[in-house]
Amino acid sequence: MAIREIVKYPDPILKQACLPVTAVTGETARLIRDMVDTMYAAPGVGLAANQLGVRQRIIVVDIDYENPGKNLLKLINPEIRRAEGEVFWEEGCLSVVDFTAEVKRAARVQVVGLDDQEREVKVDADALLSVALQHEIDHLDGKLFSDRISRLKRDLYTRRLKKLLRAGKPVRENPRLMI
């Protein structure tokens, strides 16, 4: 188990679709443990494998930050099977530092995937869990939450980030819990 460095925007791996996991191996299990440790240390409520530089369709989500591990979801090859309603949620991301925005998402989703024992898991979710699952599955498809906001807001953030990086100034992490 290890805490790994989280890949930050604009790293190109964040824009690449992840590949399906064909078999759960010891390496897969180690990656999932590292993802969980990294998510909790960040702190965050969700993490996708490509945020650690690994292009595999794996996510971890735990929205119960008062009881870490009690409601932890580890999903391999997750798919949204059903989505209904709509909700606007203020989102942030461990890979998109110093930026949050209101994003339109489905209010309720049903997600199906495999757990780390290769058993099928079906999750019916609403509220924050629904948003977190959609956010992480977007990562697996090479999409960031910032892709779901207006081009103007996205461009303003990108220009500000590039300016800070050119000036050698540190980009501060957002202290709130991130998806």
In a domain, 1, yes or no: no
DSSP helix/strand/coil, 47: strand
Tell me, what's the pLDDT at 98? 83
- Average pLDDT, whole number, for the chain? 91
What is the amino acid identity at position 15? K
In a domain, 88, yes or no: yes
Q: Which domain holds residue 91?
A: 12-166
Distance CA 10, CA 96 (A): 8
DSSP state of 64: -
Residue pair 46/52 in contact by the 8 Å Cβ criterion: no
Give the DSSP H/E element, type plus range, for residue 115: none
Per the structure, the count of domains in the chain is 1
Name the phi and psi angles at 38, rounded to 5.
-65, -40
Is the predicted pLDDT of residue 18 greater than 80, yes or no? Answer: yes
Residue pair 27/9 in contact by the 8 Å Cβ criterion: no
Tell me the average pLDDT across 140-157.
Answer: 84
Is the predicted pLDDT of residue 175 greater than 80, yes or no? Answer: no
- What's the predicted TM-score (pTM) here? 0.89
In a domain, 6, yes or no: no
Q: What is the pLDDT of residues 28-69, one digit of tens each?
A: 999 999 999 999 999 999 999 999 999 999 999 999 988 999
Could you check whether the bond before residue 43 is cis, i.e. omega within 30 degrees of 0? yes
Residue pair 38/3 in contact by the 8 Å Cβ criterion: yes
Cα separations (Å) of 166 from 40, 77, 149, 154? 30, 38, 25, 18
In a domain, 7, yes or no: no
Distance CA 43, CA 52 (A): 15
In a domain, 178, yes or no: no
The residues carrying an active-site annotation are 136
- The band of 87, judged by pLDDT with boundaries at 50, 70 and 90, is very high
Which CATH number belongs to the domain containing residue 25 in this structure? Answer: 3.90.45.10
In a domain, 171, yes or no: no
Give 160 or 81, the one with higher predicted confidence. Answer: 81
Distance CA 26, CA 39 (A): 20
In a domain, 149, yes or no: yes
Find which of 17-21, 65-69, 94-98 is predicted with most confidence, using mean pLDDT.
17-21
Tell me the average pLDDT across 100-128.
Answer: 97
Tell me, what's the pLDDT at 155? 73
Distance CA 112, CA 114 (A): 7
Question: Sheet holding 120-126: strands in order across?
Answer: 46-48, 58-61, 73-84, 108-114, 120-126
Helices marked H in 5-87: 26-41
In a domain, 114, yes or no: yes
